[in-house]
């Protein structure tokens, strides 16, 4: 005879209870409303900061803004509908675009700084120097060459020397 056991885990009580599903829907709605309020708050802050971020981007690296405008122009030339759509979305989401351009400018600045630091490690730093002009060169006495005593006596019948004769 075989026995069969069945284990059921019922978290939160009975699954057939309609109140549990209603509470789940209410909590989900509250979380979504909270996320919406948080996103609206962040977007409002970015809306007021966006002109300053765009000016700071132009000061840090103006080529970021120029390249973005060129990218939009190229997109309009290649695919007119997508280009116009990207331009309209850039205007609607201007605060987000200005924050992204600002972050890109900061990133490029950090990359240039790291690259310059790497070059100074590799090449070395340039140092200011002062050229010293001497009046007269120093003249030293010539020393005669001293002969060193030979430590080994030369043998006239050395067999090794025969190879070079």
77 contacts 83 by C-beta, under 8 angstroms: yes
Burial class, 124, CB count within 10 angstroms (exposed 0-12 / middle 13-18 / buried 19+): exposed
Q: What is the pTM of this model?
A: 0.58
Rounded Cα distance between 65 and 125, Å, is 33
So where are the chain's domains? 18-122
Residue 161: per-residue pLDDT: 67
pLDDT tens digit sequence for 89-131: 999 999 999 999 999 999 999 999 999 888 887 777 676 777 7
pLDDT tens digit sequence for 25-70: 899 999 999 999 999 999 999 999 999 999 999 999 999 999 999 9
Alpha-carbon distance values, 87 to 84, 93, 101 (Å): 5, 10, 15
Q: With the C-alpha atoms ordered 33, 39, 41, 47, is the resulting torsion angle positive or negative?
A: negative
Angle between helices 94-123 and 62-78 (to 10 degrees): 120
Burial class, 101, CB count within 10 angstroms (exposed 0-12 / middle 13-18 / buried 19+): buried
Residue 81: per-residue pLDDT: 95
The CA-based dihedral angle spanning residues 40, 42, 44, 46, taken in that order and rounded to the nearest 10 degrees: -150
26 CA to centre of own chain: 43
């Amino acid at each position: 005879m075989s026995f069969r056991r069945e284990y059921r885990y019922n978290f939160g009580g009975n699954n057939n209870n309609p109140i549990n599903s209603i509470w789940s829907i209410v909590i989900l709605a509250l979380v979504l409303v909270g996320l919406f309020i948080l996103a609206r708050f962040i977007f409002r802050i970015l809306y007021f900061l966006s002109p300053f971020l765009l000016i700071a981007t132009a000061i840090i690296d103006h080529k970021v803004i120029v390249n973005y405008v060129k990218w939009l122009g190229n997109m309009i030339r290649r695919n007119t509908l997508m280009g116009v759509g990207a331009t309209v979305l850039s205007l609607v989401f201007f605060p987000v675009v200005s924050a992204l351009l600002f972050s890109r400018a900061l990133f490029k600045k950090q990359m240039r700084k790291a690259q310059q630091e790497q070059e100074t490690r590799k090449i070395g730093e340039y140092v200011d120097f002062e050229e010293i002009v001497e009046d007269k060169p120093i003249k030293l006495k010539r020393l005669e060459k001293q002969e060193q005593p030979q430590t080994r006596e030369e043998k006239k019948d050395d067999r090794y020397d025969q190879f070079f004769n």
